[in-house]
Amino acid sequence: MQELKIIGGGLAGCEAAWQAAQRGVKVKLYEMKPVCYSDAHTNPDLCELVCSNSLKGAGLDNACGLLKEEMRRMGSIVIACADKTQVPAGGALAVDRDRFARVVTEAIKAHENIEVITSLVEDINPDEYTIVATGPLTHGKLCDAIARLTGSSHLSFYDAAAPVIETESIDFDKVYKSARYGKGTADYINCPMDKDEYLAFYEALINAEKAPVHENIDKPNVFEGCMPVEIMASRGVDTLRFGPLKPKGLPDPKTGREPYAVVQLRQDNTEGTMFNMVGFQTNLKFGEQKRVFSMIPGLGNANFLRYGVMHRNTYINSPQCLEPTFEMTQYPKVFFAGQITGVEGYVESAASGLMAGINAAKAIKGEDKIVLPTSTVTGALSRYITVGPVKGTFQPMNANFGIIEHHVGRIKNKKERYLAIAEEALQSLSEALENAE
């Protein structure tokens, strides 16, 4: 039986390696760290989370929550490790970044069918069974090799990460703990603003100096899902108050009323010694971040353990070169997985790795590959990424209920409607997996 080569030890690569190995295929997983690091990575372990520690909503009325449940039922190693390392986050599944990466790394290295090789890969052999899961920060020479292999120029957008603050440096006399609408166990730290505080902060934010983007592009294409807070603010004075700073469902216990605006901080590690600024992805210069974000009530003396950064993300035009199985149309031994395919988000990346790993293993073993029905989030996302939208240009896509095909009738209550779609999706998944055996 031929071996499977997987390039990239992120969420997609590790999930793909696990799925293939579980099916008896020998896997060589290539990871460039610690030989070489991208601009956004610092942890030598596999599956490093960069942008956030949140894997989004946990409930089945959330599309990403449903996607996680589908993955659990398919034996996802990423979700299993996330469940083991979760930290309080209200209705979301958030993890301790370092513990999560360590637990995944230990599981992958302990598998008898997986060999982890720390090496920089610079080319792809289309005659070898390969999964390319190098992520949105693919190294230069390999990025060029991918462009040659796909036969078209790759696309790019810009992504941003939020700052992380030391908990002890927060002034708790000026903040309060609460989860929106009382969900969870008061997991978020909330920094309330009155109108004058918000307007002063807004003016400072939109006039703050940005860090240079190290690319020869005048107008970088910023993906909406990771919009830098300063760009969001530039769209209008109230944009933030209806976005990441919305006070809805977060009454201040001191007044009993909702503030004019609220900045939320979410726990970033198990010990609770670090919190990240929710929705504050940014490309401001570090000094400007310190100056402007210290204007937020409770953060006057904040110690920033990590400042926000902005970096270049790359993805291929998947509808032009990939099948719904994530294999290349022209080179069927080569599969792609992760954000480089145009899925956007940690869970979505892992889900694409799961499907690529299963199908690469099936290809090696001479078995029929599997495409899940579009009534599941996994299947719908796979189809969107590889078939593309009916109109317009191809853009990255998160898991959402809008791409799922379902037979749920008209239900006015949105939560009930989503739960009904989720029930149908899980039933479809069960039937599909049973038929695939």
- 389-408 pLDDT, tens per residue? 654 567 778 898 888 988 88
**Among 224, 223, 225, 228, residue whose Cα is nearest residue 289:** 228
pTM of the full predicted structure? 0.77
Judged against a pLDDT cut of 60, whether residue 247 lies above it is answered with: yes
Question: What is the per-residue pLDDT for 50?
Answer: 77
Question: What is the per-residue pLDDT for 138?
Answer: 80
Question: What is the per-residue pLDDT for 44?
Answer: 85
Judged against a pLDDT cut of 60, whether residue 199 lies above it is answered with: yes
Question: What is the per-residue pLDDT for 265?
Answer: 95
Mean pLDDT of the chain: 89
Judged against a pLDDT cut of 50, whether residue 250 lies above it is answered with: yes
> How many other C-beta atoms lie within 10 A of the C-beta of residue 220?
14
- Name the pLDDT band for 217 (thresholds 50, 70, 90): very low
Q: What is the pLDDT of residues 132-176, one digit of tens each?
A: 999 877 877 888 888 888 876 555 666 677 898 999 899 999 999
Judged against a pLDDT cut of 50, whether residue 191 lies above it is answered with: yes
**Among 77, 76, 220, residue whose Cα is nearest residue 157:** 220
Judged against a pLDDT cut of 90, whether residue 323 lies above it is answered with: yes
Q: Which residue has the tokens 């039986």?
A: 1
Examine residue 34 and say whether the peptide bond preceding it is cis (omega within 30 degrees of 0).
yes
Judged against a pLDDT cut of 70, whether residue 246 lies above it is answered with: yes
Question: What is the per-residue pLDDT for 243?
Answer: 93
Judged against a pLDDT cut of 70, whether residue 223 lies above it is answered with: no
Residue ranges and CATH numbers for the domains of the chain are 4-154+316-436 (3.50.50.60), 161-312 (2.40.30.260)
Question: What is the per-residue pLDDT for 34?
Answer: 81
Judged against a pLDDT cut of 60, whether residue 219 lies above it is answered with: no
Comparison of pLDDT for 344 and 198, the residue scoring more: 198
Question: What is the per-residue pLDDT for 391?
Answer: 47
- Calculate the dihedral angle through the C-alpha atoms of 51, 54, 57, 59, rounding to the nearest 10 degrees: 150
Comparison of pLDDT for 267 and 325, the residue scoring more: 325
Cα separation of 334 and 132, whole Å? 7
Judged against a pLDDT cut of 50, whether residue 43 lies above it is answered with: yes
Question: What is the per-residue pLDDT for 80?
Answer: 97
Question: What is the per-residue pLDDT for 212?
Answer: 74
Give me the mean pLDDT over the 360-369 stretch.
97
Judged against a pLDDT cut of 50, whether residue 218 lies above it is answered with: no
Mean pLDDT is lowest, of 87-96, 126-135, 183-192, 426-435, for 183-192
pLDDT > 90 in the chain, percent:
62
Judged against a pLDDT cut of 90, whether residue 238 lies above it is answered with: yes
Q: What is the pLDDT of residues 277-311, one digit of tens each?
A: 999 999 999 999 999 999 999 999 999 988 887 76
Judged against a pLDDT cut of 60, whether residue 112 lies above it is answered with: yes
> How would you class 437 by CB atoms within 10 Å of its CB: exposed for 0-12, middle for 13-18, buried for 19 or more?
exposed
